[in-house]
């Protein structure tokens, strides 16, 4: 429901959760160069009081030629402060937005779709404000970026096409640790470094809805961008190895990197891993969360 901003303009507060590609197969390429994907996507839920796994936005409605952007948060300095920001681009698409405040908590160009989630959050706020279904914005979302439709959907799903074909999934809840070794990776550069673009799709059988079954299923899958991303940023392999050494049942890169994630069988195992990694690699971004259960 809308609040007001102390004057008269309505305000909607939304969060933009980190997107995690639990599995990501690259199965082909379209004539326009975009790649065909087969991916299981989930969104991080917040846990504890460490680094946050979501950006937060305040969307102020009212007439304006160009929506005004205010930036705050630990990664505010890493995003464009002008009309290039995906928040401003999404606000122009939605229309009727006077200003947006973005609290940037997610590392930028890091494979967890922060910019896409921010854009989707603006569209979600606009839909809520107007009382319309956010799916109304599905086509403009795709024009903003391949990951924006899945972020607009906002729940666990299987994603195909270049990112526009979405099938909701029920995934069990799993503790997750997100680790970013502090290097920005450009998505286009990683796709460009792929050795193969015609890999097999995900298994026919859908992911099971129990935790042990899902972990087994995921172990039979891949992130086909991982090897290419490691050639662009070798430190990704260091972070994945470090996660494995903490006892993660599965350690893998998300999206085009450089963020890697570890899945654990208990919140205590995840929290112990976070403590260990923060001690050995204090310069890394290490964030606890949960996925699935939605």
Ligand X SMILES: Nc1ncnc2c1ncn2[C@@H]1O[C@H](COP(=O)(O)OP(=O)(O)OP(=O)(O)O)[C@@H](O)[C@H]1O
Q: Is 132 annotated as a binding residue?
A: no
H or E stretch at 216 = helix 211-219
| Min dist. Cβ of residue 282 to ligand X (A) | 22
Any binding-site annotation on 108?
yes
What is the DSSP secondary-structure string of 133-178? -GGGGHHHHHHH-TTHHHHHH-S-EEEEETTTEEEE-----EEEEE
CB atoms within 10 A of CB 233: 22
Please confirm, yes or no, whether 147 is among the known catalytic residues.
yes
Q: Select from ligand CDM, ligand X, none the partner in contact with residue 34, using the beta carbon and a kind-dependent cut-off of 5 to 8 Å.
A: ligand CDM
Distance, CA of 216 to CA of 287 (rounded, Å): 24
Annotated binding-site residue? 117: yes
- Torsion region of 292: left, alpha or beta (phi above 0 gives left; psi -120 to 50 gives alpha): left
Q: Enumerate residues 14-73 that contact ligand CDM by CB under 6 A.
A: 21, 24, 34-35, 37, 39
Q: Provide the minimum distance between the beta carbon of 86 and ligand CDM in the complex, in angstroms, as a whole number.
A: 9
Please tell me whether residue 118 binds ligand CDM under the rule CB under 6 A.
no
Kindly state the smallest distance separating residue 205's Cβ from ligand X, in Å. 26
Determine contact, residues 196/203, Cβ cutoff 8 Å.
no
Report whether 180 contacts 253 (CB < 8 A). no
- Measured between alpha carbons, how far is 135 from 170 in angstroms, rounded to an integer? 19
Q: Specify the residue, 57 or 263, whose C-beta has the smaller distance to ligand X.
A: 57
255 touches ligand CDM by CB under 6 A = yes
152 binds, among ligand CDM, ligand X, none (CB under 5 to 8 A by kind): none
* Residue 80 interacting with ligand CDM (CB under 6 A): no
Q: DSSP label at 223?
A: B
Residues sharing a CB contact under 8 Å with residue 28, sequence separation 6 or more, in sequence order: 35, 36, 197, 198
Residue 107 known to bind ligand: yes
Nearest to 244 by CA among 229, 228, 260, 258: 260
Shortest spacing between CB 255 and ligand X, in angstroms: 3
Q: Which sign does the torsion angle of CA 204, 208, 212, 215 carry?
A: positive
- The response to whether 111 counts as a known ligand-binding position is yes
Q: Does 180 bind ligand X (CB under 6 A)?
A: no
Buried b (16+ CB within 10 A) or exposed e, 262-276: bbbeeeebbbebbee
C-beta of 35 vs 130, nearer to ligand X: 35
Residues within window 128-157 making contact with ligand X, judged by CB under 6 A = 147
- Binding of ligand CDM by 264 (CB under 6 A): no
Tell me if residue 38 is catalytic. no
* Binds ligand X (CB under 6 A): choice among 51, 181, 207, 255: 255
Q: Please enumerate, by residue number, every residue annotated as part of a binding site.
A: 107-117
- The binding site for ligand X (CB under 6 A) comprises 79-80, 85-87, 108-116, 118, 147, 187, 255-256
> Could you list the residues that contact ligand CDM (CB under 6 A)?
21, 24, 34-35, 37, 39, 111, 113, 116, 145-147, 162-163, 187-188, 191, 255-256
């Amino acid at each position: 429901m809308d609040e007001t901003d102390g004057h008269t303009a309505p305000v909607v507060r939304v969060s933009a959760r980190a997107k995690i590609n639990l599995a990501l197969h690259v199965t082909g390429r379209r004539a326009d160069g975009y790649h065909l994907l087969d991916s299981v996507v989930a969104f991080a839920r917040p846990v504890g009081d460490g680094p946050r796994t979501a950006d937060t936005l305040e969307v102020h409605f009212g007439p304006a030629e160009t929506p005004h952007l205010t930036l705050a948060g630990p990664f505010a300095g890493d995003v464009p402060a002008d009309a290039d920001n995906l928040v401003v681009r999404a606000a122009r698409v939605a229309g009727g937005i006077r200003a947006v405040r973005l609290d940037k908590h997610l590392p930028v160009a890091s494979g967890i779709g922060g910019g896409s989630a921010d854009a989707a959050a603006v569209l979600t706020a606009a839909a809520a404000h107007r009382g319309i279904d956010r799916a109304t914005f599905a086509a403009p979302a795709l024009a903003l970026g391949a990951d924006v439709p899945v972020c607009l959907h906002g729940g666990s799903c299987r994603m195909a096409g270049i990112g526009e074909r979405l099938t909701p999934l029920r995934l069990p809840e799993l503790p997750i640790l997100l680790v970013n070794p502090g290097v920005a990776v450009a998505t286009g550069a990683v796709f460009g470094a792929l050795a193969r673009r015609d890999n097999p799709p995900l298994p026919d059988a859908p992911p099971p809805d129990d935790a042990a079954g899902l972990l087994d299923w995921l172990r039979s899958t891949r992130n086909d961008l991982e090897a290419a991303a490691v050639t662009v940023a070798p430190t990704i392999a260091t972070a994945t190895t470090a996660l494995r050494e903490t006892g993660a049942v599965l350690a893998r890169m998300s999206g085009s990197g450089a963020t890697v994630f570890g899945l654990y069988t208990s919140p205590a195992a995840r929290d112990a891993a976070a403590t260990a990694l923060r001690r050995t690699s204090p310069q890394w971004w290490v964030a606890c969360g949960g996925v699935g259960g939605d």
